[in-house]
Amino acid sequence: MKNNEIETDGPVFLIDDERAIRVSTKQWLELAGHEFVEDFQEARSALEKLDWHYNGIVISDVKMPGMDGLSLLKEIKNIDPDIPVVLVTGHGDVSMAVEAMRNGAYDFIEKPFEPEHLLDIVRRALEKRALVQDNRSLKRDLAAAEGLDARLVGANPIMRALKRDIMDIAPTNASVLIQGETGSGKEVVASCLHEFGPTPSGNFVAVNCAAIPEQMAESEFFGHEKGAFTGAQTRRTGKLEAANGGTLFLDELSSMSMDLQAKLLRALEERKVVPLGGNTPRSVHFRLIAALQEPAEEAIASGRLREDLYYRIATFVMTIPPLRARKDDLPILFRLLAKRASETFGREIEMPGPEGIASLMAHNWPGNVRELRNAAERYALSTRPTAERLSIILNNQEEIQAKTALPLSEQVRLFERNVILASLNRHKGNVTAVMQELSLPRRTLNEKMAKLNLKRTDTQ
């Protein structure tokens, strides 16, 4: 790079009513290595193109017909006070220069000027604007990350990777496919993609495809005109049209009929919908987020998901880990959910101690976060002693006669009982499978089950 080349690649708006000056100045900038120079004969045209997101600078003559440079400076400062404005005059007016700098001009240069002098000013102004935009972006990212941590609690490496993916993809319009077990938080992830995306003020329309009767599905998704069928007394807006300008979230997509999937694919390709009973297409523009409880490959192989629809919606695929894969997040998650439940129900609660945490860790959580939330709510509502609540809630066992502060031996006994019971639950009472999972000889397992008052039939 030559010494006089501009180091920051940002746009420059160049405003001057004299064509010869505009042309020569633009050429100097372009020869110096700047590719994005747009020139204007008058200030209003440039002003209409400026907004808070503009990442460049403005160079303007002061003496111009219509709006002059000083008036333009004031208007730009109303749009964004951090856009650097360089004013140029041929009149050598010192008082004007002082006023311009007082009003926020980045710099002031007199005609005729040396190209090297102007290029140096432009380079420094662009660097300043880039720094401002970088700082703003960093603040937005930090704010979004804090909001995301409040929505998706957990510091497990799998969850941290998921949060990074959300922050990377949310600002784009890319279609996203979310895969995860029931209750794992697919709609929460979808709403985060919407809230931190390019159209957060638009509608977030969430649809559970499995909950819509097949005979009503087409009307639900595409809408219908008045009189389209018996009972259609008014026009109805479909889900696709309701999501226009926002986000459409389709949960359990593979439960949608193959015929309806074909119609959805066509609407996505054409960005248009035709309501039942209508002939005029309506344009729709929304971000599509879909969710599956199973891997997409299995849904396609079993004939429940069209392969061409999959390739249309799966620009980016996110997989939400089940709760059992991130048990180190369980204590903080449970405490957060229990606190929320206590506030909702107006109950004062004491958080679980070591024996309660042991119960949480031993449980397999087939219902994921939804099951954990239910357990937290039941915990907040329970009037039993703190030490025994979770064992009863999670294992449906008889009341344990325990003190609020259990001795270590009792805590160990409870932990061991919950681990074995959880394994029995996972293997539906198959003792051989439990032996293999826990690496216990049959005699040892039988003795422990007898000592802990456990039977195969105790499984949930």
pLDDT digits (tens, 9 = 90+) for 85-101: 999 887 666 677 777 88
Phi, psi of 387 (to 5 degrees): -65, -25
Backbone conformation region of residue 84, classed left if phi is above 0, alpha if psi is from -120 to 50, else beta: beta
Percent helix, strand and coil across the chain, each to the nearest 5:
50, 10, 35
pLDDT tops 80 at residue 353: no
pLDDT digits (tens, 9 = 90+) for 137-175: 766 655 555 677 778 887 788 888 999 899 889 999 999
Buried b / exposed e along 157-177 (16+ C-beta atoms within 10 A): eebeebbebbbebbeeebbbb
Separation of alpha carbons 217 and 221, rounded Å? 6
The token duo for 290 is 């879909």
As a whole-number percent, the residues of the chain with pLDDT over 70 amount to: 90
Answer for the pair 179, 317: CB distance below 8 angstroms, yes or no: yes
Q: Give mean pLDDT, residues 352-363.
A: 80
At 201, the pLDDT band (50, 70, 90 cuts) reads very high
Residue 52 burial by CB count (10 A; 0-12/13-18/19+): exposed, middle or buried? Answer: exposed
The token duo for 215 is 């005979």
Pairing of strands 282-283, 272-273: antiparallel
**pTM of this prediction?**
0.57
Partners of 60 in beta bridges: 15, 87
- DSSP-derived secondary structure letter, 446: H
Contacts of 434 (CB under 8 A, 6+ apart): 420, 423, 424, 427, 440, 445
At 6, the pLDDT band (50, 70, 90 cuts) reads very low
pLDDT at 397: 33
Q: Give mean pLDDT, residues 364-380.
A: 91
pLDDT at 404: 37
Separation of alpha carbons 122 and 125, rounded Å? 5
Place of tokens 């420059």: 12
pLDDT tops 80 at residue 396: no
- DSSP letter for each residue of 179-237: E--TTS-HHHHHHHHHHTSS-TTS-EEEEEGGGS-HHHHHHHHH-B-TTSSTT--S-B-
Domains and CATH numbers, the chain: 12-135 (3.40.50.2300), 154-321 (3.40.50.300), 324-458 (1.10.8.60)
- DSSP-derived secondary structure letter, 276: B
The token duo for 246 is 């926002």
Overall size of the chain counted in residues: 460
pLDDT at 91: 64
Mean pLDDT, all residues of the chain: 85
